[in-house]
Copies of this chain bind each other. A is one copy, B any other.
Amino acid sequence: MRIAIVGLGLIGGSLALKLTEAGYSVWGISRNPATCQEALERGAVQGCGTELAQLTLFNPQVVVICTPLEQVLATLAALVPYLSPQTVVSDVGSVKQPIVGPATALWPLFVGGHPMAGKTLQGIQGAEANLFLGRPYVLTPIPQTQPQALAVMQELVAAVGAEVVLADPVRHDQAVAWVSHLPVMVGAGLIAAVSQEENSNILALARTLASSGFRDTSRVGGGIPQLGLEMARYNRQALLAALRGYQAELKALEQLIEGEQWEELLQKLQRVRQEWQQFPVNQGAP
């Protein structure tokens, strides 16, 4: 199968590496010639171009659009003239509802996708073949989605070692608002709150004393600003609902502490610890 990856960042580069390793014929498209160069040198792709038109030479059976979210629809529209009628197209955007309907209208063989994997190091520099291994990879079919296109994408997800999770776009967006987008705002708020401490002695001491607990809690909040913006912009309603639910929980914790309701606070923290253990990603942790 011939697969084209449009956008060779962390996700696109990692998909290319793994699919090449799995024996597929993989081409890349990147506007940046240096990225093409690096993808070729790392053996992620067997060919690479800077223009979408070059795809007519490769004639891919699958195209995965791995651009930033805001460019997915424009990229697809620009791609259409160069696709053969049987080509399946997917994307890897972290929000699906604003993409999947319009993209399917543009191209009937579109299937929305979202691999649940990432790392702090961005770009092709961070790419690694095993980024998706054992991770969920969401595919978001809608009633108009063609079954054969979905089947092709399921094969591709299996090929990168990920686990297929099927969800409709709206449900996907609400779930990631909770576990992926809300944590960015939670961490960003933590960094911002500490940093506005007015007593410079206390702020300096806080920075000195910050340990692994602070580092982990704030990590995704201190991540790439453009990614945080993208989540907020394209998943605005679900993220706002999550932020409001979160603030209600914080207020409840504050009131327990304010009212010195220590038995209730202990019970709450015990319940939280049980809930925390119900997330598969936490299982095996002590």
Contacts and interface: CB of A to CB of B under 8 A. Distances in A.
Interface residues of A, number: 104
A138 B280 contact: no
Given A210-B280, A253-B185, A225 B270 contact: yes
A1 interface: no
Contacts of A265: 228-229, 232
B208 A184 contact: no
Q: How many monomers of this chain does the complex have?
A: 2
A202 interface: yes
Contacts of A118: 211-213
Contacts of A196: 245, 249
A182 B193 contact: yes
A267 to B, nearest CB: 8
A120 interface: yes
Contacts of A194: 178-179, 182, 275
B272 A188 contact: yes
A245 B198 CA distance: 11
Given A211-B135, A222-B273, A257-B240, A190 B182 contact: yes
A223 B116 CA distance: 25
A206 B178 contact: yes
Contact of A121 (B172, B186, B273, B286): B286
Given A186-B190, A202-B174, A279-B207, A247 B247 contact: yes
Nearest to A213: B220
Given A266-B229, A279-B207, A249 B192 contact: yes
Interface of A: 116-121, 126, 135-136, 138, 165, 167, 171-172, 174-176, 178-180, 182-197, 199, 201-202, 205-226, 228-229, 232-233, 236, 239-240, 242-254, 256-258, 260, 262, 265-266, 268-273, 275-282, 285-286
